[in-house]
Structure 1
Amino acid sequence: MSEYDGHQYVGIDLHRRRSVIVRQTDQGEQLSAVRIVNDPVALGLQIEQAGTRPDVVLEATYGWYWAADVLQAAGAQVHLAHPLGVKGFAYRRVKNDVRDAADLADLLRMGRLPESWIAPAETRELRELVRYRAKLVALRSGLKAQVHAVLAKAGVLIAVSDLFGVDGRAQLEQTALSGAYAQRVASLLKLIDILDAEEALFNRRIAERLRGHAGCGAIQWLPGIGPVLAAVLVAEIGDVHRFPSADRLCSWPD
């Protein structure tokens, strides 16, 4: 515990492997500046030095989840700085990690911090599933585009509306391609099948998470919104009650 017994403000400049932690008094006097290797135990020990329920700020940067969870478990009041709102740091002539952490603490202490919402763990897990499903679909789309490209090189046109539907796949497998072209298409089709199976698996996992979710059911009454888009909206919006009105939700920039 620090000898200073007043309320403390803590700024953390979080990086992938190491982070800098700056502690300040409620008047802005710097108490310490420490560099740690990213580790829950090391972070927890440093926050113990900040007294009871310190205000702690870190930027919504790469891999912030673990740090926010450790800080909250340690009893800190955690604030998440919006990256776009703190871009002003770039103007400084002197720029280093200690200054970045101190500036975050200053903004928080003076009530000028542009904050992002810290989604609870359950919402973050749902986002992980929904966003990963979207990545699987994007990867599969890239593979399908490669199949079309190979066929174009070989001068092959298969006249179906969906090359990867039942009829399209049947014709594709009967198409005579030679050498490297045939080998590449065969490989691409195997990868597409794997991604199809993985997408189906994550669709089931998402559906299980959202079974009985009132908001997910209600939003699907809107024209054009099915289970996939409903899951995206629920995951990204999170607790809709954090918005004071429908207009504020519709103007939400994140």
Structure 2
Amino acid sequence: MKVTYQTCCGVDVHKSFLVATIVKTTGGIEPSYQKKRFSTFNNSILEFKQWLLDNECHDVCMESTGKYWVPVFNLLEDEINVVIANPKWVKAVKGNKDDTKDSKWIGDLFRLGLVKGSYIPCKKVRILREYTRYRYKLVSCRSSEKNRYQNALTVCNVALDSVVSDIFGKSSTSIIDYLLEQSGTSINHEEIASKLLRSLKSKEDAVIESVEGYQMTDAQKYRMRLVRAHMDYITAEINDVDKMIENMISSNPDFENAVQFLCTIPGVKRDSAITIISEIGTDMSQFSSSKRLCCWAGLTPGSNESAGKKKSVRITRAGVYLKPA
């Protein structure tokens, strides 16, 4: 096979240390190997970087193990070409692997050009991605709390969600607050009716019937207050994250222009455009075609055929943050 990299390095990175193997191909068929172990502290990573430069090694391949590769990538990317590989492309044979052998195996595969590199955007895009993904997690957490709040109402024999369209609207919130303040299980129909707004006034009888005879203990009321307070806290966090994201977009002309361009697509709003930019960046030269981009985003079926039989070709889990956008 043709040698793609005359001098390269395979790295097996862990939480507290990394094992590196420099593979050099000179005149002979068999390459030469230099192995060394470093810790993942910054000073040690810089020593690793200098060791690579001293050996004229400017191409490094690492397995994307959790987030452990990120500190190494941050300190190497300015002077060294770092390829981050999906573990499935560099998986060693079971029963014959250890940290040293793994780094050698990665180096051998990389030397022959058999390792596909993962797309790693520039640092500005990576930071923006951290914020958009964090926002995604916050929204998911708030949705879970909303479901928990609705379940608490159902358990307490409150069927208000069967009458109103939004259980977290102004009228519904006022009615629930009234129920939480009550010491017993009796309700004042006139008080309930006074809290109804707009079109909900026409459903006065149904609203009263949905909360009549509710069963809510003090412990259940306290739990609902905790859930409500947590939802309010998460909402405030989301607003803070939104402000920071907006500042990052508006302060970067490339981001702002790309977002405005994406917003010209029917159905794509600003939030969705920002999410798309945070995931794929603004440099489309990383993808040779639109097909490659769709494949990277996990939107195209795979190819799995053996002995004339086609097996499951469903789309992958890739692009879990990009698909909802």
**TM-score normalised to the size of structure 2?**
0.70
Counterpart contact for 2:15–2:40, Cα < 8 Å: yes
Number of equivalent positions: 245
Distance 1:84 1:227, change over 3 A: farther
Matches within 5 A, 1:1-254: 8-26=7-25, 28-34=31-37, 36-50=38-52, 51-63=55-67, 64-73=69-78, 75-87=79-91, 89=92, 91-158=93-160, 159-176=163-180, 177-211=216-250, 212=253, 213-238=256-281, 239-252=283-296, 253=298, 254=318
Q: CA deviation at 1:53?
A: 4.5
C-alpha distance in structure 2 between counterparts of 1:154 and 1:28, whole Å: 72
Q: 2:304 — aligned with what?
A: none
SS at match of 1:161: coil
C-alpha distance in structure 2 between counterparts of 1:241 and 1:110, whole Å: 24
Per-residue displacement from partner, 1:135-184 (whole Å, max 9, x unpaired)? Answer: 00011111111111111111112232222233332222122432211011
Q: CA deviation at 1:188?
A: 0.6
Q: Does 183-192 or 22-31 show the bigger shift?
A: 22-31
SS at match of 2:56: coil
Distance 1:86 1:164, change over 3 A: farther
Report the AA paired with residue 31 of structure 1: Q
SS at match of 2:268: coil
C-alpha distance in structure 1 between counterparts of 2:267 and 2:178, whole Å: 37
Q: CA deviation at 1:57?
A: 1.1
C-alpha distance in structure 2 between counterparts of 1:22 and 1:38, whole Å: 16
Report the AA paired with residue 13 of structure 1: D
**TM-score normalised to the size of structure 1?**
0.89
Counterpart contact for 2:23–2:111, Cα < 8 Å: no
Q: Does 118-127 or 171-180 show the bigger shift?
A: 171-180
Q: CA deviation at 1:86?
A: 2.4
Percent identical residues: 26
Q: 1:3 — aligned with what?
A: none
Unaligned runs of 5+ in 1: 1-6
Counterpart contact for 2:128–2:245, Cα < 8 Å: yes
Counterpart contact for 2:90–2:109, Cα < 8 Å: no
Distance 1:25 1:235, change over 3 A: same
Counterpart contact for 1:52–1:76, Cα < 8 Å: no
Q: CA deviation at 1:11?
A: 1.4
SS at match of 2:108: helix
C-alpha distance in structure 1 between counterparts of 2:132 and 2:111, whole Å: 36
SS at match of 2:223: helix
Per-residue displacement from partner, 1:171-207 (whole Å, max 9, x unpaired)? Answer: 2212243221101110010010011011111112112
Counterpart contact for 2:23–2:31, Cα < 8 Å: yes
- Bigger Rg, which one: 2
Please list every run of at least 4 consecutive aligned residues from structure 1 whose deviation after the TM superposition is greater than 6 angstroms: none
